[in-house]
Amino acid sequence: MKDAQGRQGWTGQGGWAGRGAVLLLLSIIALVARAQTFGNPVIGFDEQFYLLVGDRTLHGALPYVDIFDRKPIGLFLLYAGARSLGGDGFLAYKLVAAGFVIATAYGVQQVARRFAGAKGGIVAAILYILWLNLMEGEGGQSPVFYNALMLAAAAAVLRAVEGRGRLFAQGAVAMAAVGCALQIKYSVLPEGVAFGCILLWRGWRMRVSMVRLAGMASGWIALALLPTVMAYGVYAAMGLGSAWLFGNVLSVGGQAARPFVDELEGLAACVGILSPLIVAIAFGRPWRRVPAEARDGFGVLLIWLTVTVAAVLLYGRFGSPHYAMPIVLPAVIVAAPVFDRWRRGWIVAFVFVIALAGQIVLSLSERAKGGAAEAMAVARAATPAGGCLYVYDGYPALYMLTHSCLPSRWVFPGHLNTRDEASAAAIGIDPVAEIRRILATRPGAIVDDYPRFAFGNPATRAVLRDLLARDYHLAACVPTGPSRVRLVYRPGPGKPPAGCPSAADLDQPA
């Protein structure tokens, strides 16, 4: 395919050879960009927990029943599949995630080429890969997986709008993809609704009768809801439908809001990370560079981007940049016609800066949170001689790294140690009562964190503090960053090792 100026583009060769070259290039870039994380088992608390749930699912545990969380079952099944590949699971899930990134980037290139030349398409695909490293998407956060499905849905909607294929069939593909994505994270619902509305608009413009269009819409809605209905049906058939409903639906309303100032700071960080793309789109005005015959399709992309931005803002959680990661996918495709107009030197410099920034972010993140060496040091110190390990605050991966049993259904630390989860409406049980029950089992080791989390639950913290003072001693302090120490407590009396925070410091509130 030729680029907008009629010249052969960077990877503009047609046929299987050209597609293979593009796929190989994107694969190399993705693996190199993410390689820094492959040996680190603790790159993200969320994905450490997802892997733990996937691991225990393979051993018969049921999400929502034996381990509590709010994510849909599809995400845990993905992690269970990665865990089944062998090894310790940590490298396997990262390689699976990298495969999803490569597939998504290839899809970006294919879609972007409909509105830009070969140069713009390949640059958009490369930038999708690289931008994830800036937003805590270097591992297996949920958007890494569901973005591939949402791109498949968007591509089907585009085919329908452009008249390439039958409307109902393309809509069925789109809604089936949305349905699968919903079982990875429900936050894709607004995008799915937008795609459905675009399909209905297309049918109206094609003068499809209202009766037939209503029938199509019913079929599309059924396909979108089918995976979720099936998930609920499986639990209901086991008599566990209420556990599924609480975990997937009801518990969301029980979460308390975090401080507005903290969320505002997180939003500012997200805007800052996305600002180069925002500037490129705002000043490059790609909609003016699209041929007239492709403008309806490009309008779909603009609607998709707008809805994605609105969905992220309405969700209102910005504690981590990964909450804004879904914006990157439509944004790089929308920006593709702009990249087509850039000189090759500008593009190389821009891509290099984003790539370098991503590697710096990964290095700084590991320095702040700890890496493989620190994680294994904590695991060695925390391996229980008897009973279960209990991670009150720290790496969820420690349960796998120590081969420990689980002391509770609520093993993600944030479910019992943060204020926004401090109610039965949020997690299904009084967190203070659950902490008391866990501690009554006399865990073989307890892991805590210093300095304390500023948004921690003071009630559960007080219960833990009293028990540690009475029945445990500080057995190890492992620095996992310039200002972070993981604390390991063991039963019985003992003196804290040298270099640990003082008792007075540990008693200070957050």
Please write the tens of the pLDDT for every residue from 477-487. Answer: 999 989 899 99
Domain boundary at 334, 366, 398, which?
366
Question: For residue 134, is it within any domain?
Answer: yes
307 with 406, same domain: the answer is no
Domain count, the chain: 2
355 with 378, same domain: the answer is no
Question: For residue 7, is it within any domain?
Answer: no
Domain boundary at 366, 398, 426, which?
366
- The 3-state DSSP composition of the chain as helix, strand, coil percent (nearest 5) reads 65, 5, 25
Question: For residue 284, is it within any domain?
Answer: yes
355 with 392, same domain: the answer is no
In this prediction, residue 4 carries a pLDDT of 39
pLDDT digits (tens, 9 = 90+) for 108-143: 999 999 999 999 999 999 999 999 999 999 999 999
390 with 273, same domain: the answer is no
190 with 47, same domain: the answer is yes
Q: What is the dihedral of CA 476, 478, 484, 488, to 10 degrees?
A: -30
379 with 480, same domain: the answer is yes
Peptide bond into 451 cis (omega under 30): yes
Domain boundary at 305, 337, 366, which?
366
As beta bridge partners, residue 473 has 490
362 with 379, same domain: the answer is no
Question: For residue 106, is it within any domain?
Answer: yes
pLDDT digits (tens, 9 = 90+) for 350-371: 999 999 999 999 999 999 999 9
Question: For residue 71, is it within any domain?
Answer: yes
d(CA 291, CA 111): 15
204 with 261, same domain: the answer is yes
Neighbour-count burial of 413, counting CB atoms closer than 10 A to its CB (0-12 exposed, 13-18 middle, 19+ buried): buried
Residue 14 Cα distances to 27, 290, 341, angstroms: 19, 21, 21
311 with 186, same domain: the answer is yes
* pLDDT higher than 80, residue 409: yes
In this prediction, residue 316 carries a pLDDT of 86
In this prediction, residue 14 carries a pLDDT of 59
d(CA 471, CA 321): 40
Question: For residue 4, is it within any domain?
Answer: no
Q: What are phi and psi of 499, to 5 degrees?
A: 90, 0
125 with 44, same domain: the answer is yes
d(CA 342, CA 13): 20
Question: For residue 76, is it within any domain?
Answer: yes
d(CA 439, CA 75): 30
397 with 312, same domain: the answer is no
Domain membership of residue 484 as a residue range: 372-507
3-class state of residue 490 by DSSP: strand
320 with 243, same domain: the answer is yes
Average pLDDT over residues 309-328: 93
pTM over 0.85: yes
Question: For residue 3, is it within any domain?
Answer: no
